[in-house]
Each structure stands twice: as structure tokens, then as C-alpha cells.
Structure 1
């Protein structure tokens, strides 16, 4: 649990009560608090992210009624799939002046992705609001790092307990991906240098840093669930080279607009890739 919920100092906008009531809705198996609130890394204005783990199809009419009761107004509560394949629906609420997000998660799909993680399989899907794409293992990371608030059948807690140990096969797969994809992507980026194609180069730089971030987290047995704060978090892990976060942000912050500037930036990116891969080779794996 987060310190706030343990001590009762700040139970938030009726979060625990809301979780219990959500879990009573037909189709909802359990509710998990995620994001910075669950990790204890939140700011006072941070959102409350509630994962609604469902099976089949949740009773969205009942969810809308509950949302209206909590907010005092009609609020859009989507059907599953309305927001895309990965963040597949939910609602954005304001309760007692705080932002509360309901995010659907198909429990059977989460369990299937967890099986893939243990076998070293993952995929990356396109999703609005996720410029790097959603890595499938983020589903496991959300539950592994989350705080189960309502779990009438015990199913969420049992699945979360399985995730206590980071899968070695997934660690190997993500580090191996970085070994070939990061240098390859930078080589592709150089094709845009002569045309001063800053857009193309910047995209390649972002992708390269993202792949390195995934590898550093995997090496440390940690779960990044999205891009926000992921570079800084990776820089604090033992598998990152000195100055990783500062160097990565510098690459993405100002790649340049001339062939000379872009070349210098890609040279620096090559060095960061080489240093990161060397650090991963030298340091012991965590988890």
C-alpha cells in the first residue's frame, strides 16, 4: 500500500469506497490502484488511476450511474474498446476536486500477456497518448506495481503474487532487442542527415532512447509502464551508464536542424548506446 492509504492521512476522493462499489458491478472482477499513487511517487495533484479488471463485458450502465453519483453530473463512461486496443476504455472523472481515471483491463488478456512474459514474448502496439507505443508487458507491470483495492474472488491478488519475480526470459528478450535495434535505428537515422530531415532523425532518437530505457529496466528487473518519467527512472538503475538521463534528454531536446548538428547528435547517440550496452554487460541483473 501507499503511505497515504496505510496511515489514512489522505484516503483521496473516496477511493477505497469507490473501489469496493466498482468491484460489485457485474463483469468487474477487481480494482487496482496504479500509477504514481500506487508507487508512492505521486505529487499532491497526481491523478488517481483505478484499473477496472473485467471479464466478459462490464455493466457500463451501472458504471455510468456510479460515475454520476460520484461526480454529481452525467459523465461519459465508454464501452470496452472505445479508446483503442491497449487502453481500451474507461472514464475521466473529477471527484471531490481530484482527477480519478477509470481504466479498463481485460483480466483474461492480462493473464495471457503474463504467460507471454514468462516465455520471453512481448509486442508493441500503437495507442493514442503513447508515442513509444504500448509494450505488452506493461500490463503485467501495472498489476505488479499496483495496489489491489478490491478483489472479492482473490484472483487479482493471486495473479499479482505470481509477478513478484521478474521473468528471466523477458529480461533477456528486451536486452537482446536493444542490442540490435538501437544501433540499427541510429544507422537508419543517418539517412536523413544530408537532407537535414530533423523530423526523421528526432523520431529515430526517441525510439532509440525508448528501447534503451526498456532494456535498462528489464536488466534491473523493473517494470516501466509508460514513457512518463521513464528516462529519469532508468538513469537511477544500476544497469545505466553515468549520466544516462542527462545525455538521453539532451539528445531528444535539441537534435539540430543542419547536417552538421544532426551528425554531432547522432555521434553522441552512438556513444550513449555503446555505453549503455557495455553497462548492461558489466552489471549484474536485478529482479
Structure 2
């Protein structure tokens, strides 16, 4: 793998290489694939043909493919996939996050939406393998601590979405509306997960594996993972009253988390501003005594 990473890091315009996905999140098994991420600073994507040429020169690499420019292959017993990210786009997103701004959009593979903060997640949840000029580490440092404004915006937005979802789920009474109820349950879990990530000050992970990350976070509803599994079981079995009751209970706990999160933020902000206020007061006394 070291030779492969060196080859990728030597590509024109590639300024850093990392391992993302389940390995970057530290939730991988020994058999997990390697998601290799190439970082560049602006410009067009690195051409798949250049990547393939570099990989072919590496010992043990086989089964190379590039459907639609998406390069994958195998090294020994492990499959790998190559992804590309633009550091300038991530830098802009970090600036937006500090202002509490994000984009929520629907796209394939993300049925309840994708967040633009995912760009930051890709550089934060990463094993850095090659970063000769320190571009990745500077961006990772810029992304921390988790922005207070982003935390508030995510909590407010997705608590409201969870409330709307539960309101509509409570109106379902026909078994023929099974798909609709299951869809609402899925949407609720998506919104709830985003709120839990935000309350814990962690950039959301929307891909598979995100639930394993949530299971390690300290602030979340009690027995959260088991209750989510039970929620879908009730919905699929047609026990709509039980499913709705579970949604309403979970929503109440999310509201509590949101309130506690706001209190913690207010307390942190108060602690941060006190030294500044004391400094200003001291400066004022010094000026007056002169």
C-alpha cells in the first residue's frame, strides 16, 4: 500500500493523499476496502488515465477499472477505490460553516439529502498518508473546533424537520401507506442523526458507517441504536401506533438534547468572553489613571 500511495502522491497537481471511508472513521474491519482520497488545490479532476498509468507501475495491483472515470482495483486481498477532493472547495465550506451556513440537497444515494459539510467531513475523518506541504493539516486545524454557528444552525434546522416528520407520521392510518410510513421513519432517523452529530460537535457522516460513529458519541438518546431498529420493525409489521409513539418519544428526547446543547454553548461563550471583558476593563482603568 505504501508504494501505491507514493505513486498517487506523485501525480501532477495532487498535493495530498489520505485514507477515508470506514478506515478513516476507525470503524473498519480487516476485510474493509481502502477508500483512497486524492486532494488537489483547484482545477479539473486528475484524469483517470493518469491515475491508471501510475497504478499499473505498482507491484501487486490488479483488476483495475475506471467506469465513468471512477478508478478502482485490488492490491493483494483488499479492494481499493480512488476519490478526488478539491481543497479550495473544502476551504470555502469551512468559511461557510463558521458563519452557520450549509447547503442541504437531494441526490442519488442520499435519499433524505446530502449536506455540503460533507466536504469538511472528508478531510476531518481521514488518515493522512501524504501531505508534504501541510495543506491537509492546515485545513484540519481550520475546521476545529466545531463552529458554534454551524452547531446552532444544524440543530435548529433538523429538529424542525424531525418535528414535521412526526406530525405527518401521526396522520397515517391505512396499512397500504406502509411505504410512506417507513419513508418518514427513515427521514426522521436522518434528521435525528444530524442533530446528534451537531450536539456532540462532530461533522456529520451521512454515508454507511455513520450509525457506528453515532454509537460512540456521549450525547444521544438512551439505547438509541436498539430503539431505531425497533422503530423500523414496528413500522414494517404494520404496528403504526407503536411506531408513531416511538417517534414521539424520541422527538421529546431530541428536544431535550437540543436545549441542553444550547445551554452548554451559552456557558462556553460566557467563559470565552470573560477574559476579554476583564482585559477591556483593565485597559480602561489604566487609561483613566494616566
Superposition TM-score tier, normalisation by shorter sequence: 0.7 to 0.9
- The 1:185–1:124 alpha-carbon spacing in structure 2 relative to 1, beyond 3 Å, is same
Q: Is the 8 A contact 1:231 1:248 kept in 2?
A: no
In 1, the alpha carbon distance for the partners of 2:64 and 2:17 equals 22
Secondary structure class of the residue paired with 1:279: helix
Alignment map for 1:8-47 (pairs within 5 Å): 14=1, 16-47=2-33
Given that 1:256 and 1:265 are in contact with CA atoms closer than 8 Å, whether structure 2 keeps it comes out as: no
Equivalent residue in structure 1 for 2:105, among 110, 125, 138:
125
Given that 1:140 and 1:163 are in contact with CA atoms closer than 8 Å, whether structure 2 keeps it comes out as yes
Which of structures 1 and 2 has the bigger CA Rg? 2
Q: State how far apart, in whole Å, the 1-side matches of 2:105 and 2:129 are.
A: 28
TM-score normalised to structure 2 length: 0.81
Confirm or deny that 1:93 pairs with 2:73: yes
Which position in structure 2 is the counterpart of 1:76? Answer: 66
Q: Aligned partners of 2:83, 2:182: CA distance in 1, in Å?
A: 31
- In 1, the alpha carbon distance for the partners of 2:82 and 2:240 equals 42
Which position in structure 1 is the counterpart of 2:123?
A: 143
Match of 2:255 in 1: 277
Check conservation: 2:159, 2:191, Cα contact below 8 A: no
What is the TM-score when the length of structure 1 is the normalising length? 0.81
Cα displacement (A) at 1:199: 0.7
- Pairwise CA distance, 1:30: 1.4
Query: Contact between 1:240 and 1:280, CA under 8 Å: does it hold in 2?
Result: no
Structure 1 stretches of 4+ moved >6 Å: none
Cα offsets for 1:75-128 (capped at 9, x unmatched): 21644xxxxxxxxxx322211120111111122222222211111111233343
User: Is 2:200–2:218's contact at 8 Å kept on the other side of the alignment?
Assistant: yes
Conserved 8 A contact 2:27-2:209: no
Q: Say yes or no: does 1:64 pair with 2:52.
A: yes
- The residue number in structure 1 matching 2:195 is 215
Deviations 1:189-218 (A, max 9, x none): 334433630111111111111111111111
Tell me the secondary structure at the aligned position of residue 133 of structure 1: strand
Distance 1:73 1:282, change over 3 A: closer
Are the aligned partners of 1:193 and 1:201 in contact in 2 as well (CA < 8 Å)? no
Question: How far 1:232 moved relative to its partner?
Answer: 4.4
| Candidates 115, 137, 142, aligned match of 2:95 | 115
Distance 1:251 1:219, change over 3 A: same
The DSSP-based 3-state class of the residue aligned with 2:71 is strand
2:280 alignment counterpart? none
Q: Size of the alignment, in residue pairs? A: 260
Aligned pair in 2 of structure 1 residues 59, 234: CA closer, same or farther (>3 Å)? closer
> Would the alpha carbon gap of residues 271 and 56 (structure 1) be closer, same or farther in structure 2, given more than 3 Å must change?
same
Q: Which runs of 5+ in 1 are unaligned?
A: 1-13, 80-89
Residue 245 (structure 1) shift: 1.6
Find the aligned partners of 1:202 and 1:74 in 2 and give their Cα distance. 39
CA 1:36–1:229 in structure 2 vs 1: closer, same or farther (change >3 Å)?
Answer: closer
